[in-house]
Amino acid sequence: MAESPANPLALVSEPASPATGRDPWLGLTRYTTARIALGRTGGSQRTDTLLDFRLSHARARDAVLAAFDTAALASQVAAADLTPLAVTTAVADKKTYLVRPDLGRRLSPRSREQLRAHAPDWGVRDLVIVVSDGLAAQAAQHHAVETVTRLADHLAAAGWTLYPILIAPFARVKLQDEIGELLGARHALILLGERPGLGTPDSLGAYFTRQPRAACTDADRNCVSNIRPEGLPPAVAARKLAHLLLESARLGISGVALKDTQEPHAAPCDLPPA
């Protein structure tokens, strides 16, 4: 058996193997979206590598700037036998959302009064779920409803009660604290598009807090990220969220004090024969 090189990364820049005519790292590209086996032409990147990078960068920018179709999402939520309700933050447009994160962390005065008026009729429930575009509208558009629907089924089987599903464009994670405190919810969960990577423009993140209130910090939150078919599929993410929420209620904790004790999810892959 040939010995491994002292620096495996050197293989990326070495010429193709005379025996196969292939870069020996190319076979690994089917297991990852990371940028490996890029090669070079002299001291420069290959043309196809540069073009692929520019395409991925453009897709990431498009993901951030894409519009959020709240009406379509509300229709999908209603079709799943859940009740949608639109609310707004203190942000009026995408440009403001990007430069003023603080405004996305609080409700507009109108929506604050709207929820305050609904709270007595709804009563205290176990969980309020908020869905937002965040920094990648297509993540919420494509993956949020399946995640929420499957999560609701898991929690209903455990006897949990849910508020209507709130749809809030231009929201930041901490918005869940104000909403949860206004309603008196035992837990608050927000799903929103994560900052796009060069290979992942549709990744959804889910954050929840027990006893949400204005004083909560990020240390009080738990996060399940990279929710998408190529990462953590919505069905798996929903099971993980349900497990964590039930443990949070049982133990009376959330955030850094709450640990995930489930077996890690392993994505299927076609490994070559040994």
Per-residue pLDDT reduced to its tens digit, 67-124: 899 999 999 999 999 999 999 999 999 999 999 999 999 999 999 999 999 999 999 9
Least confident of 35-44, 177-186, 218-227: 35-44
CATH number of 10-63: 1.10.30
Output the CA–CA distances (angstroms, integers) from residue 47 to 44, 54, 94, 101, 145, in the order listed.
9, 11, 34, 38, 39
Q: Which helix (H) or strand (E) holds 210?
A: strand 204-210
Phi-psi region of 36 (alpha: psi -120 to 50; beta: other; left: phi over 0): beta
Percent of the chain with pLDDT over 70: 88
pLDDT, tens digit, 9 for 90 and up, residues 175-221? 999 999 999 999 999 999 998 877 788 899 999 999 999 999 999 99
CB contact at 8 A, 154 and 126: no
Q: At 60, is the pLDDT very low, low, confident or very high (cuts 50, 70, 90)? A: confident
Residues of the chain with CATH 3.40.50.11240: 68-257
At residue 253's C-alpha, the angle toward residues 252 and 255, to 5°, is 165
Measured between its terminal Cα atoms, the distance across the chain in Å is 14
Q: Is 80 exceeded by the pLDDT of residue 238?
A: yes
Decide: helix, strand or coil at residue 242.
helix
DSSP letter for 232, please.
Answer: B
Q: What is the pTM of this model?
A: 0.82
The values of phi and psi at residue 200, to 5°, are -140, 80
Q: In angstroms, rounded to a whole number, what is the distance separating the alpha carbons of residues 169 and 70?
A: 8
Phi-psi region of 226 (alpha: psi -120 to 50; beta: other; left: phi over 0): left
Q: Which helix (H) or strand (E) holds 86?
A: strand 84-86
Q: In angstroms, rounded to a whole number, what is the distance separating the alpha carbons of residues 57 and 135?
A: 14
Helix (H), strand (E) counts: the chain? 9, 6
Give the per-residue pLDDT at 39. 75
DSSP letter for 255, please.
Answer: G
Residues of the chain with CATH 1.10.30: 10-63
Q: Are strands 84-86 and 204-210 parallel, antiparallel or unpaired?
A: unpaired
Domain 68-257 matching CATH 3.40.50.11240: the answer reads: yes
